């Protein structure tokens, strides 16, 4: 399992302008690549939508050694109803705290030196007012689970993650594939996990040769496979193989072949300009305003 890597979390976004401002100007992330698609993804990367959409990867450095955010924008959809499934992304950056204060972006101190803020769309981020020596400031993604022990069995026994911390009393556990990677925190909640329409997806890579075996394991264990092994094309870039799974609470999990993904995910120096150009060319807000209609909700 040492060859497995935590890659990114997928967020559906309704307002690209405000979202770009948050990630670039508040958090201080860079646009790593931007891609436009004319029709929905075979692995439902953009959610259950079959129209035009875009994908923007943002992070503190190259995808080879940083955990990043994948921002998916479906043209014509202005917002997505939030559930209780995504509980936050935690990063250590005194610069982000300073940026938020300068820009008047709302911050609420929830523990000493830890500030809660929201990305457009209501996604929670926790900013630690410190800068750590490791290269990637993104520390963990927190997801809600209804039965911690059942989830640990899935993520550790089936997906091979290591437990870094476990607190039975607080019903939480911190998991990961390696010390220097972003961690996955599972937090027990009362009642069911509701994914609503804004549900995201967490992505990992593994050697491509492991993908068929991973799918077979899930079949044997009678676990949910949302998308069996499939090849995904990106115009002008590498084709990758993925299998999409769901954990016991329905959290979507993408495993992608590492070799081709490293090729696909190379940083594009034109990424930021491509995003800006796409936003400038997207007249949907003006069209809806002119016709006095609201954009659709996801």
Which CATH number goes with the domain that contains 12? 3.10.180.10
Work out the average pLDDT over 217-239: 92
For residue range 24-56, what is the model confidence (pLDDT) as tens digits? 999 999 999 999 998 888 888 888 888 899 999
Reported as a pLDDT band with limits 50, 70 and 90, residue 271 is: very high
> Is residue 219 a part of any domain in this protein?
yes
How do beta strands 240-246 and 252-257 pair? antiparallel
Reported as a pLDDT band with limits 50, 70 and 90, residue 130 is: very high
Pair of tokens at residue 160:
């091979």
Question: How far is the C-alpha of 129 from the C-alpha of 135, rounded, in Å?
Answer: 16
For residue range 155-190, what is the model confidence (pLDDT) as tens digits? 999 999 999 999 999 999 999 999 999 999 999 999
> Is residue 34 a part of any domain in this protein?
yes
Model pLDDT, residue 289: 66
Reported as a pLDDT band with limits 50, 70 and 90, residue 290 is: low
> Is residue 298 a part of any domain in this protein?
no
> Is residue 236 a part of any domain in this protein?
yes
> Is residue 297 a part of any domain in this protein?
no
> Is residue 152 a part of any domain in this protein?
yes
pLDDT at 297 exceeding the cut of 90: no
Residue-averaged pLDDT of the chain: 93
Question: How far is the C-alpha of 142 from the C-alpha of 151, rounded, in Å?
Answer: 13
> Is residue 278 a part of any domain in this protein?
yes
Question: How far is the C-alpha of 290 from the C-alpha of 269, rounded, in Å?
Answer: 35
Instruction: State the residue range of the domain holding 54.
Output: 5-291
Domain count, the chain: 1
Torsions phi, psi for 263 (to 5 deg): -70, -45
pLDDT at 296 exceeding the cut of 80: no
> Is residue 296 a part of any domain in this protein?
no
């Amino acid at each position: 399992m040492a060859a497995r890597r935590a890659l990114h979390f997928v967020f559906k976004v309704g307002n690209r302008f405000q979202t770009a401002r948050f990630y670039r100007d508040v958090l201080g992330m860079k646009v790593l690549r931007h891609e436009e698609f004319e029709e929905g993804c075979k692995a439902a990367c953009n959610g259950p939508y079959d129209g035009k959409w875009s994908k923007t990867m943002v992070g503190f450095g190259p995808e080879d050694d940083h955990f990043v955010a994948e921002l998916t924008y479906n043209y014509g959809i202005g917002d997505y109803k939030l559930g209780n499934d995504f509980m936050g992304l935690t990063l250590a950056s005194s610069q982000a705290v300073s940026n938020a204060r300068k820009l008047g972006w709302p911050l609420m101190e929830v523990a000493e030196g830890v500030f809660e803020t929201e990305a457009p769309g209501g996604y929670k981020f926790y900013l630690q007012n410190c800068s750590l020596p490791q290269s990637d400031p993104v520390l963990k993604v927190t997801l809600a689970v209804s039965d911690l022990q059942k989830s640990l069995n899935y993520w550790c026994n089936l997906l091979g993650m290591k437990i870094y911390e476990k607190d039975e009393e607080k019903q939480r556990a911190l998991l990961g594939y390696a010390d220097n990677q972003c961690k996955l925190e599972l937090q027990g909640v009362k009642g069911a996990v509701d994914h609503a329409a804004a549900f995201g997806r967490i992505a990992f890579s593994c050697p491509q040769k492991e993908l068929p075996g991973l799918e077979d394991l899930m079949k044997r264990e009678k676990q949910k496979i949302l998308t069996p092994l499939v090849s995904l094309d990106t115009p002008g870039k590498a084709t990758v193989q993925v299998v999409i799974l769901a954990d016991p609470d329905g959290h979507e999990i993408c495993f992608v072949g590492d070799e081709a993904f490293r090729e696909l995910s190379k940083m594009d120096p034109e990424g930021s300009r491509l995003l800006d150009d796409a936003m400038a060319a997207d007249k949907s807000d003006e069209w809806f305003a002119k016709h006095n209609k609201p954009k659709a909700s996801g």
